[in-house]
């Protein structure tokens, strides 16, 4: 039986990371988070990890560039750390604000075990600022709802195989802030469900 280990990549406050931590501690996610990696030294998610006793690593693209190294060098260093130090069953991008290069992805091509949480439905609002773009489309009468998805990560941004998705209504009296709050509340559930689904599928195959 494959060991249910997870490495989580974050860039910010780590609220989705916290959802994963809570789920593992409560037994709703039958797995162990063995590391949290951030590309921002001051990311609050690192504090969440430390409080839960989870090892952390931080990588600074700025420092790599100051040393004459490239973005690809940065990606390869993170990939090697994950593969050699942790070799997890699953890598979860939970608010990871850095597009992973093909060079990074090549380290995990065989396992195909990187998933990403994205605040839009498949084929809609790929890339950055998805919630803002959805809200603007709603105001223009183009859509009545948005959604979220967890998908496998491939070089084509937000176009990997969808693990799970959820439609989310946009209310007439919504502001961007209230829509963001609703989306985040759904995200905290979906990221746990998708991680569980991925690991269950891994175990059954």
Distance CA 130, CA 162 (A): 17
pLDDT in tens, 98-116: 999 999 999 999 999 999 9
Report yes or no on 81 lying in a domain: yes
**What residues of the chain score a pLDDT lower than 50?**
1
- Provide the domain limits for residue 195: 5-121+148-167+186-204
Mean pLDDT of the chain: 95
CATH code, 195: 3.40.50.170
Report yes or no on 131 lying in a domain: no
Q: Give the count of domains, the chain.
A: 1
In a domain, 134, yes or no: no
In a domain, 64, yes or no: yes
DSSP of 101-161: PHHHHGGGTTTT-EEEEESS-TTSS-SS-HHHHHHHHHHTTS-SEEEEEEEE--SSTT-SP
Q: Which residues are annotated as catalytic?
A: 118
Please tell me the predicted confidence (pLDDT) of residue 204: 77
Q: Give the pLDDT confidence score for residue 1 in this predicted structure.
A: 46
Largest Cα–Cα separation, the chain:
51
pTM to 2 decimal places = 0.93
What's the pLDDT score for residue 202?
A: 84
The answer to the question of residue 133 being in a domain is no
Q: Is position 175 within any domain?
A: no
């Amino acid at each position: 039986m494959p060991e249910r280990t997870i490495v989580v990549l974050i860039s910010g406050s780590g609220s989705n990371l916290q959802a994963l931590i809570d789920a593992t501690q409560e037994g709703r996610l039958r797995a162990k988070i063995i590391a949290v990696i951030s590309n921002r030294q001051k990311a609050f998610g690192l504090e969440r990890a430390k409080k839960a006793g989870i090892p952390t690593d931080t990588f600074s693209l700025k420092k790599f560039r100051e040393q004459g190294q490239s973005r690809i060098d940065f990606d390869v260093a993170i990939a090697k750390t994950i593969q050699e130090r942790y070799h997890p069953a699953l890598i979860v991008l939970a608010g990871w604000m850095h597009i992973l290069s093909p060079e990074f992805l090549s380290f995990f091509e065989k396992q195909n075990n990187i998933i990403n949480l994205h605040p839009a439905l498949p084929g809609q609002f790929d890339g950055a600022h998805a919630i803002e773009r959805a809200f603007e489309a709603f105001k223009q009468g183009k859509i009545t709802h948005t959604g979220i998805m967890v998908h496998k990560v491939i070089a084509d941004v937000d176009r990997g195989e969808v693990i799970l998705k959820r439609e989310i209504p946009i209310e007439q009296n919504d502001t961007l802030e209230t829509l963001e709050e609703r989306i985040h509340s759904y995200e905290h559930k979906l990221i746990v469900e998708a991680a569980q689904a991925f690991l269950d599928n891994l175990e059954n195959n």
